[in-house]
Amino acid sequence: MYNGLEVDMLSVGDADCLLVSRWYGYVAKRVLIDGGNASDFANVRAFLERRNVSYLDAVVSTHMHDDHAAGLLTLVRDESIGIGAAYVHIPQNHLQMALVDRALKIAAGAKEAECLEKSLQTAKDLVGALRSRRIPVPIVEPFKGTTIEFLTVAGPSREYYEELVRQFEDIDAFKTMSQRGLHNLIEDSVDDYFVKTGFIEASLLDNPETSAENNSSIIMGTIFDGEKYLFTSDAGVPALTLATAAYDLTGCNWIQIPHHGSRHNITAELIEHLSPKTAFVSAAGNSKHPRRAVVNAFKEAGAQVFSTHYPEPTNLWNHRGVVPAREEYGYVAPLYDKDKKATESDPTMIAIFNALYGTTR
């Protein structure tokens, strides 16, 4: 008889796809959080097949950026995978689209405008695909307090979500978002240069900012055997701060480092407040994701940090309680500690792939 919790973070580069499983006896409730990019679908599908998962009790689209939702859209269209319920924000339900179209037209060519257009189209396509599947439970827009199987939504609230998306109707707010994105890009490039040349040490930002779309990400948590688990997606400091005000998230056993380890989504104060024991990050392992300053801050707070890119691209698995054994998995070294081996007391493991599986992705 099983009684445990499993978190699988799939290796999809700078994208997100997580499978969370809660075992009750010989039955597991499974929630898929995001699906990576559309190009990741084959890897996600192959992973589910290897784990004999043909039914998902729930799928969650945390927000509509393609590195989270495009792969999920492709998976939803694959009717060989059963789906019990879907939790998705539908931005069109909260917007005056005529005003959004006007703002997009004025801001045509700007990166933020192109990103938003893609997100709105992905939202439309995903909702359409879900409705065509005739899923037993109607689509739910999950706001603070919503229960998703064994997970609880810690943010955003409906009010905060609508405050964020209303910026897409306001051309001045839209221009500010575009300027912020450009500022962040320049700031990171300058920081990269001075860190590489040894002029400064990698450090966190005092007042990091991310996009409204990122802050609209669904934040979820669960507790198993008294241990807290927190799923952050691409949420930024304001969104995470609101979640910590609404729920006691201190002393997390496990946390997803937000936005692939970007330094625009976290502060030392938030890390100290959350005080995680184990932190996972889904990242390609470049200078941008995960940021060394972010990883160092989590390590300095006492967390062991594991990345899907280190020491080579592979899936990560964390488990608590009694769950089915995985003979093809082995222990992994924490990030930047390649020569150190994790002990059997640490429940984090990686997939050891061989010719049977064919790829580390």
DSSP 36-97: --GGGHHHHHHHHHHTT--EESEEEE----HHHHHHHHHHHH-TTSEES-EEE--GGGGS-H
Average pLDDT over residues 247-265: 96
Q: What is the pLDDT of residue 361?
A: 33
pLDDT at 20 over 60: yes
Q: What is the pLDDT of residue 311?
A: 85
Q: Which two tokens stand for residue 339?
A: 């020569």
Instruction: Determine the angle formed by the axes of helices 171-196 and 97-106, rounding to 10 degrees.
Output: 50
pLDDT band with cut points at 50, 70 and 90 for residue 143: very high
Q: What is the pLDDT of residue 205?
A: 78
φ/ψ region of 46 (left if φ > 0, alpha if ψ in -120 to 50, else beta) reads alpha
pLDDT band with cut points at 50, 70 and 90 for residue 194: very low
The model's pLDDT over 66-107, given as tens digits with 9 standing for 90+, comes to 999 999 999 999 999 999 999 999 999 999 999 999 988 888
What is the torsional sign of CA 86, 174, 66, 35? negative
* Domains of the chain: residue spans and CATH: 2-351 (3.60.15.10)
Percent residues over pLDDT 70 in the chain: 85
Whole-number mean pLDDT of the chain? 88
pLDDT at 53 over 90: yes
Q: Give the Cα separation of 323 and 325 in Å (integer).
A: 6
The set of residues, in sequence order, having a beta carbon less than 8 Å from that of 6 and lying 6+ positions away, is: 19, 20, 21, 22, 23, 28, 317, 318, 319, 323
Q: Phi, psi at residue 71, to the nearest 5°? A: -70, -35
Q: In a 10 Å sphere around its CB, with 0-12 CB exposed, 13-18 middle and 19+ buried, how is residue 310 labelled? A: buried
Q: What is the pLDDT of residue 328?
A: 87
Task: Please provide the DSSP assignment of 312-334 as one string.
Answer: SS--EEEEEEE----TTEEE-PP
Average pLDDT over residues 37-47: 96
Other beta carbons less than 10 A from residue 46's beta carbon: 14
Q: What is the pLDDT of residue 193?
A: 45
